[in-house]
């Protein structure tokens, strides 16, 4: 699914409570995320499921 398709679905079904950045994260490792264009980001807003181990922790993936 392309970024444009994701944005169209979000516009049709999500409540517009805040402005969203046009970014599609395709990879995460530790506290870093990468988008579909190869840009790297620090994840300062990680959700509960990645709060204590980060994205894609090897021991979690292996489990």
pLDDT digits (tens, 9 = 90+) for 7-61: 899 889 988 887 778 888 899 888 889 999 999 998 877 666 656 667 777 887 8
Question: Is 57 contained in some domain?
Answer: yes
- Tell me what pLDDT residue 35 has: 93
Q: Is residue 51 included in any domain, yes or no?
A: yes
The contacts of residue 39 (CB under 8 Å, 6+ apart) are: 23
Q: Total structural domains in the chain? A: 1
The answer to whether residue 2 is domain-embedded is: no
- Whether 60 maps to a domain, the answer reads yes
Nearest-angstrom CA–CA distance, 29 and 43: 10
Q: Is position 38 within any domain?
A: yes
């Amino acid at each position: 699914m392309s970024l444009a398709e994701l944005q169209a679905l979000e516009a049709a079904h999500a409540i517009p409570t805040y402005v969203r950045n046009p970014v599609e994260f395709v990879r995460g490792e530790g506290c870093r995320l990468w988008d579909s264009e190869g840009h790297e980001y620090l994840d300062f807003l990680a959700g509960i499921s990645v709060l204590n181990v980060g994205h894609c922790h090897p021991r979690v993936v292996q489990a």
